[in-house]
Structure 1
Amino acid sequence: MTVFSHAGRNANAVSCRLWAEPQLPGLSMNGDFIIGGIFTIHYYVRSEQTNYTRLPEQLQCSGSMDFRQLRFARALEFAIREINNETVLLPGITLGYQIHDSCSDVQMAIKCAFQFANGVDPVFNESCSKSAAAAVPAIVGDSSSTPSISMARMLGLFGIPQVSHSASCVCLGDKSQFPAFFRTVPSDHHQAAALARMVKLFGWTWIGTVRSDSDYGNNGMISFLKAAQEEGICVEYSEAYYRTQPRSKLERVANVIRRSTARVIVAFASIGDMRFLLEELAKPPSPRIQWIGSEAWITQTEFLRYNMCAGTIGFGIPRSVIPGFREFLLDLSPAQALKSPLLKEFWESAFSCSLKGRTGSSGLVRECDGSEDIRALQNPYTDTSQLRFSNLVYKATYAIAHAIHGTYPASLPFIKLYLLHQILDQLKRVNFSTKNGYQVNFDSRGDPVAVYELTNWQFKKDGTLDFVPVGYYDSSKPRGQEFSIISAVHWVGGQTEVPVSVCSESCPPGTRKAVQKGRPVCCYDCIPCAEGEISNKTDSLDCVRCPPEFWPNINQDSCLPKSVEFLSWDDNLAIILTVFSITGAFMAVCVTIVFYKHRASPIVRANNSELSFLLLFSLTLCFLCSLTFIGRPSEWSCMLRHTAFGITFVLCISCVLGKTIVVLMAFRATLPGSNVMKWFGPPQQRLSVLAFTLIQVLICVFWLKISPPFPYKNLKHYKEKIILECSLGSAIGFWAVLGYIGCLAFLCFVLAFLARKLPDNFNEAKFITFSMLIFCVVWITFIPAYVTSPGKFTVAVEIFAILASSFGLIICIFAPKCFIILFRPDQNTKKHLMGKTKKKKGGGWGKLDELLMDF
């Protein structure tokens, strides 16, 4: 901190004197305007114990020199010399520079910032309260975010513009805190988003992160973690380290990396912190890790010696070419080096000699004898093959020159007086191209357009590592088009296949992700979709239920139409039932033929031939109506099958009932004085059959009118298939039809049972009783079987009931008669039928036989 004291007092003015000695610049040149420059050329400051009883000693940098940062500083010097030779930009005005080393220390950076504002004169002869122009109109630097933040807070109060080439912390874009800060390096906001999208692009969802425990690392990592979360990326651990922390902290971070299951690590760290971390990880066992680097260290050449980092990929500042810069760097002699403390230290360090024969801690160092050839040096200072940040310094210097040029009036004193009030506004509006073809402008946050080079560490033919550009990222392009890959990427260990880093393997189609309790969302189990559900993409969060008429395939990754089940004609069961149906109808026709051929025979006449033929006709229809139940249900077939079944069966039972009543009435006619047969002759029999059948017809008409049967897709009985069946429409109508048939059958059974003791030779009551017993048993067992049978078997049960009851009637009633007609013709005589009766029963029964024969 700069502190003033009152050096003296007189009547006119008060003199102010600096208490601390000024910090002399490492590189300087006079000019009409002095551009300030500050770079992290060293990384440590000599520390001393402060006792607060005397002024602390002058801050001094320590440690080895960073030759790369010295090249950055000389890029500022080169740009200013180039501008001074311009005839268009700032004609007639000479720019100078004062370049300081911040030593990556906040105290040193603040001291330099005050010095840029106040100058280096130890005494102010003017009033201390009188405002004066700043010593420099603008500053380039610093190289690190933390010192830059401290400087920007102070310089912003005075409106002194600061243009950094390397301070990329997102926080510096906040104009409410840093109104005078600009930068030519993209903000870490863009880099964090680019890193997250790259991690997502290569399918890594389980990563680790390390960062510098500084403003650069912490703010950059906050932005990255936010972007990673939006991309669905999970972080196993996030460790922070700063090079001044205890070694135990470094070892702990290294052990976390070694034990982790994440195979990809994103490192948002400065060069100094990464140097310590890589040195620690190089100790065995070295973890096999895919490194993702930030722009601060991804292009640091000294790290190429770590072969374990082969395949490292990250975003770096695009390489560039600055014409004449290499010649400028190499145009350095011992005499020139002696004029600058920084250049002198560089010369002595690079050639391990002393320009003045100084002694070092290790004894007398040889004196430089002039044989040193700077062109033969191979170090970061002379390496201009990949100028990256050097070009950003070059652009920053030109931006300040253009801003000063924008304030250029008629006279130089006018410039100096009003420069600070205008240069800040001019910097916001600069828009130009440098000599080497790069566009320079700033957005409202003082940031440039973010353009990165995707850099990959690949092995060369000689087995050494090198930086290879494999793509670019341009934030100005539409989302999704920012990346452009130009060559193949080599991964960790030199592999060509993208390494896998996931907490859980991807869930294939047919499964869904279920997050493991207490773990990040990227750690999950793959749960098979529930019955009836599918997932048709990888890593589905939920399964989707198939539409009602669809069902999942075996893999449960697509919905297929459910198979439709009905009793089709080509079904084996349907074929068997059809054969029985046709057989039954054929039997009925054959019996009809036999009866018709022997219609005059006593046994046909004795069994009421007219009702017998009508019964055979109805039985033929009963057998055939079962065929309407086979095949794909349609609107007409559904109505036909139930109504045809109901009417034909009632016709059949009505005939049987008529035959039974005839027997009973004939028996009662044998009683003395009975004339009952005249009330139940052939006309009455026909009328009774018609009446019974008409009632069923009316029931069917009402059923079809109110709520007829219709085709129905039953989706509930089976989950994986559709049962195509005929819905009853009105269940009352269906059961009314069956109930009416049941009532007639039961009445017929009772009457036949009462007539069972009539003479056997001519009466069929016994056979009717047995046939009705079979009929009733079949249809009583039909009810539970019909209700419980699944799918097409429901229809099969109904057909079976129709066929069984029909076969029962035709066999029980007509089989004995046909047997006598065809195989016992000697018994088919009136004498045989009546003779046995007369012997057994006497004359009254003979009258009964005569009556039956008449019918």
Structure 2
Amino acid sequence: MVIALSQLNGCITRYSQQATNIQHFASYIEQTNSASHQIWPSIEGLFYRAWISYGLTETSLNERDEFPYFYQNFPSDYSHFHGLTPLLRLFGWSWVGILTSTDENEITYCEELKREIVRSGGCVDFLESLPDTMTTFREEVEKRSEQILNKIYKSKANVIIIHTTKIIFIETFCLISYEKIDTKLFVFSMETSSIKSKALTVTPLICNALNGSLRLTIPKGDIPGFKDYLQNSNYSTFMDQIVLLLRPEFECGFLNDKENCTRSETLSTTDASLFDMNNYELTYSLYNMIYAMAHALHNLYTAKSQRGNSIKMEFKPWQLNQYLKEVHFKAPDGHEIFFDEKGHAPNHYDIIQYFHFPNLTTAWIHVGSFKPSAPKDKQLFVNLTAIRWKTPSNQVLRSVCSESCTHGYRKVIDREKPVCCFDCVPCSEGEYSNTTDAENCKKCPEDQWPSEKKDKCLPRIIDFLSYDDPLGAALSSISILLFIITALVLGIFIKYRNTAVVKANNRNLSYILLISLMLSFLCTLVFISQPGTLTCLLRQSAFGMIFTIAISSVLAKTVTVVIAFRANKPSSKLRKWVGTRVSSYLVLLCISGEIVICTVWLIISPPFPEYDTQSVTGKIILQCNEGSTIAFYSVIGYMGFLALLSFTVAFLVRKVPDSFNEAQFITFSMLVFCSVWVSFIPSYLSTKGKYMVAVEIFAILASSTGLLGCIFTPKCYIILLRPDLNTRGHLIGKKVS
């Protein structure tokens, strides 16, 4: 693939139609060469040191210090396969296979390609070498081929890269892959695309697997007069200029009449595919490089002639090298030809898709290009609409080890597998992912919660016990109903305040107890609404003091019964304590303790509203933080202490004469009260949100109803339904049972 003198001699005169001075110079070289050889020793000496490659070369020739006079149209630094990795990334092909021959250089190339794919974030499922029948026994080839085919068939890699420069490899592959792996897409490296094997052009039907394959190729261009030249050339002339073609396998046997081949037939009688310009990429590259050399020689000749020097004088190698560095012209297709400081001409690669049809015709569709010298984000261009995929609805082919993790999932990589193979697990509670293949899930803000699919955050539902809630509406209705009932009882006691039943059990304490029960029923309404600073301050403290008044009144009633019973005995010292003052003082004393506890609580650590985002999934619980848990349970504990004290005293005097049988009712009421609040504590601690508030409201209503029912129901029964029993004589006449 390096330009020789005979090539330059024959080609410049045929294709230098772009500039008159180039034509004259080419004609001069041809005439001088035919007339005498006086100039050629000098020029040959120049070419001994100045070389231009019109194709790919060995990597070792890329060292500029060692080969300062070596120029090339395509760099020999693996940059051409760098176009493969952007192509894989563009279509998301992260899981691919590589096929090559058993040639050591090609295996080394593929190993480097594999490393490049891994560096770019992809993975290679396999790298296999397919033996050929030229170097391996047929049985071994068949066995090895079957193994490779099975691996390709079973692999999740739907994209296979083929790299080889051996025609026999393609022919062997076509033979063994017939209709077995036609769902895979094969991507050819540039070297593989350039061989144009017979297996693809002469017998396309046996290469069904390669139909629709993508290829990186040297860009083709228009060579003026080249096609006419080929068609009018005979076999002998064609063989002399064979270096111009990419079909070195051409021989007389390709002609229509093999038996009467005289080697003088024109090539127009051959297969039309011979003149397809898609087959002459390297020829076009050679065409441009010959012109580059011609420009350098012309500039050298012009410079010498302008100084009056003879063109027959000897030239030094470095002199032509200097003019090669300065070459800069436009090719017929508009591309600029010049050499950079590394001796590389600007280049790019075409991406084509190959098709063959049952009528033995082929199609090469240009679908993109790759320009290594362009900015990184503009190196690759692909016309997505021009590609035809082997998938339903012409969808882009998928080639991945694991399908992408969708929104709401994150990737979990198994260290024992390649990074392209992973599992997708749902995001944890309170987390979401809105990107594909998310490494980690994100937490939603405090006021938001992931959607059902965990692909976005939604505003949390603010949860609190409201009047619109069925539970809140039911509890508030019961509270109002009990308040009305208590108010009616109070009205009855006020109306019948002078009757024996009302007067017998300290009617003032009865009024205080009924009013405190009414307030207790009403205070539950403070619990049913959106918690605010004021409501949080009032809830527990108001309930604690109001309920303490009720319990203190019950305790005072019990103590009054004891004093009244004991004062009836002769010489009793309790006679002086009979009256209303003792009960009033006792109520004030008991309520003072609760006031002190609540005051200290509100001063040191008052309750406040807060948002709880942890207790209930997907909700924000708007609740009151009690501030000090110790203070809260101290309030409840103080009421419990008073209730237990009342229960104890009432239980001890439960068998007093019937005139004072209120002690029995107090005993039952305190039993109900204590049962409710003992069960309240575990229930309160085991619930969250609005249900925790509902438990406390229920405890308040149940205990208050217990007091109202046990203490006042019997009295209302006598007052309203048995007025005959509501007399002083009847009460005094009762005997101890």
- State TM-score, norm by structure 1: 0.74
Pairing partner for 2:219 from 318, 330, 336: 318
Is the counterpart of residue 653 in structure 1 residue 546 in structure 2? Answer: no
Q: 1:75·1:393 contact (CA, 8 Å) conserved in 2?
A: no
Pairing partner for 2:503 from 590, 605, 608: 605
Is the counterpart of residue 450 in structure 1 residue 347 in structure 2? Answer: yes
Gap change, CA 1:342 and 1:541, over 3 Å in 2: closer
Deviation at 1:752, TM superposition (A): 2.1
Q: 2:658·2:734 contact (CA, 8 Å) conserved in 1?
A: no
Q: In structure 1, what residue type is equivalent to 2:136?
A: P
User: Could you tell me which residue of structure 2 aligns to residue 787 of structure 1?
Assistant: 685
User: Could you tell me which residue of structure 1 aligns to residue 35 of structure 2?
Assistant: none
Gap change, CA 1:168 and 1:590, over 3 Å in 2: farther
User: Could you tell me which residue of structure 1 aligns to residue 95 of structure 2?
Assistant: 206
Which stretch of structure 1 is more off in the superposition, 223-232 or 77-86? 77-86
Distance in 2, matches of 1:515 and 1:594, equals 78
Superposed CA deviations along residues 667-719 of structure 1, whole A, max 9, x for unmatched, are 34334455645456434433332232232122112111111112233344334
Alignment map for 1:598-637 (pairs within 5 Å): 598-637=496-535
Which stretch of structure 1 is more off in the superposition, 464-473 or 388-397? 464-473
Q: 1:430·1:441 contact (CA, 8 Å) conserved in 2?
A: yes
The DSSP-based 3-state class of the residue aligned with 1:687 is: helix
User: Could you tell me which residue of structure 1 aligns to residue 334 of structure 2?
Assistant: 437
Is the counterpart of residue 403 in structure 1 residue 296 in structure 2? Answer: yes
Which stretch of structure 1 is more off in the superposition, 499-508 or 333-342? 333-342
Q: 1:90·1:405 contact (CA, 8 Å) conserved in 2?
A: no
The DSSP-based 3-state class of the residue aligned with 1:584 is: helix
Q: In structure 2, what residue type is equivalent to 1:443?
A: D
**CA root-mean-square deviation:** 3.9
Distance in 2, matches of 1:172 and 1:242, equals 29
Pairing partner for 1:377 from 227, 245, 270: 270
Superposed CA deviations along residues 170-217 of structure 1, whole A, max 9, x for unmatched, are 554343454333221355644322222222323323222123555873
Is the counterpart of residue 350 in structure 1 residue 252 in structure 2? Answer: yes
User: Could you tell me which residue of structure 2 aligns to residue 69 of structure 1?
Assistant: none
Deviation at 1:162, TM superposition (A): 2.2
Q: 2:231·2:266 contact (CA, 8 Å) conserved in 1?
A: no
Gap change, CA 1:418 and 1:36, over 3 Å in 2: same
Which stretch of structure 1 is more off in the superposition, 500-509 or 191-200? 500-509
Alignment map for 1:213-292 (pairs within 5 Å): 217-218=106-107, 220-240=109-129, 245-247=135-137, 251=142, 254-259=145-150, 260=152, 261=155, 262-281=157-176, 288-292=183-187
Distance in 2, matches of 1:685 and 1:290, equals 99
Distance in 1, matches of 2:177 and 2:565, equals 120
Q: 1:591·1:818 contact (CA, 8 Å) conserved in 2?
A: yes
Gap change, CA 1:492 and 1:830, over 3 Å in 2: closer
Q: In structure 2, what residue type is equivalent to 1:135?
A: E
User: Could you tell me which residue of structure 2 aligns to residue 195 of structure 1?
Assistant: 84
Deviation at 1:292, TM superposition (A): 0.9
User: Could you tell me which residue of structure 2 aligns to residue 149 of structure 1?
Assistant: none
Pairing partner for 2:193 from 289, 298, 310: 298
The DSSP-based 3-state class of the residue aligned with 1:88 is: helix
Pairing partner for 2:287 from 394, 405, 412: 394
Q: In structure 2, what residue type is equivalent to 1:264?
A: V
Q: In structure 1, what residue type is equivalent to 2:95?
A: W
The DSSP-based 3-state class of the residue aligned with 1:137 is: helix
Pairing partner for 1:488 from 373, 378, 386: 386
Distance in 2, matches of 1:762 and 1:215, equals 115
Deviation at 1:253, TM superposition (A): 5.8
Q: 2:235·2:252 contact (CA, 8 Å) conserved in 1?
A: no
Q: In structure 1, what residue type is equivalent to 2:44?
A: A
User: Could you tell me which residue of structure 2 aligns to residue 368 of structure 1?
Assistant: 262
Gap change, CA 1:680 and 1:137, over 3 Å in 2: farther
Distance in 2, matches of 1:252 and 1:177, equals 45
Gap change, CA 1:439 and 1:684, over 3 Å in 2: same
Q: In structure 2, what residue type is equivalent to 1:527?
A: V
Superposed CA deviations along residues 74-98 of structure 1, whole A, max 9, x for unmatched, are 687323555599543496684469x
The DSSP-based 3-state class of the residue aligned with 2:622 is: strand
> What number of residue pairs does the alignment pair up?
710
- State TM-score, norm by structure 2: 0.85
5+ residue gaps, structure 2: 32-38
User: Could you tell me which residue of structure 2 aligns to residue 37 of structure 1?
Assistant: 4
Gap change, CA 1:411 and 1:295, over 3 Å in 2: farther
Deviation at 1:492, TM superposition (A): 4.8
Deviation at 1:596, TM superposition (A): 0.7
Gap change, CA 1:179 and 1:756, over 3 Å in 2: same
5+ residue gaps, structure 1: 1-25, 27-34, 39-72, 98-118, 122-132, 139-154, 354-361, 842-855
Distance in 2, matches of 1:720 and 1:574, equals 21
User: Could you tell me which residue of structure 2 aligns to residue 135 of structure 1?
Assistant: 44
Alignment map for 1:47-86 (pairs within 5 Å): 77-79=10-12, 81-83=14-16
Distance in 2, matches of 1:89 and 1:683, equals 134
Distance in 2, matches of 1:493 and 1:764, equals 92
Greater CA radius of gyration, 1 or 2?
A: 1
Distance in 2, matches of 1:548 and 1:318, equals 58
Gap change, CA 1:202 and 1:188, over 3 Å in 2: farther
- Work out the percentage of aligned pairs sharing the same amino acid: 34
Deviation at 1:832, TM superposition (A): 1.2
Distance in 2, matches of 1:88 and 1:753, equals 133
Gap change, CA 1:389 and 1:585, over 3 Å in 2: same
Superposed CA deviations along residues 527-576 of structure 1, whole A, max 9, x for unmatched, are 34444443333333444444555444333333334444332323333233
Q: In structure 2, what residue type is equivalent to 1:196?
A: T
Superposed CA deviations along residues 308-344 of structure 1, whole A, max 9, x for unmatched, are 121011121222111122344455458867989999x
Q: In structure 2, what residue type is equivalent to 1:378?
A: D
Gap change, CA 1:596 and 1:276, over 3 Å in 2: same
Q: 1:337·1:347 contact (CA, 8 Å) conserved in 2?
A: no
Q: 1:214·1:242 contact (CA, 8 Å) conserved in 2?
A: no
Superposed CA deviations along residues 618-652 of structure 1, whole A, max 9, x for unmatched, are 01011111222222322222221101110101111
Deviation at 1:822, TM superposition (A): 0.3
